[in-house]
């Protein structure tokens, strides 16, 4: 079992790496979307504050 796992390991590692890469890209995009919305929200807040002054 262990030997079989060792021989398959490189293939599995490659697959898991691509999977992780895809996952991180998706997560990154989600995080960026959230950050962008937050940034734009704070920017609009600051604009309204400046206008009020």
Among the ranges given (4-13, 28-37, 40-49), the one the predictor scored with the smallest mean pLDDT:
4-13
52 pLDDT band (50/70/90 cuts)?
low
Over residues 44-53, the mean pLDDT reads 68
Place of tokens 């995009």: 29
What is the rounded CA–CA span in Å between residue 26 and residue 21?
A: 9
């Amino acid at each position: 079992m262990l030997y079989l796992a060792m021989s398959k390991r490189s293939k599995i590692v490659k697959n898991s790496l691509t999977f992780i890469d895809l996952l991180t890209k998706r997560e990154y995009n989600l995080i960026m979307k959230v950050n962008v919305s937050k940034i734009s929200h704070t920017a609009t807040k600051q604009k309204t504050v400046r206008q009020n002054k």
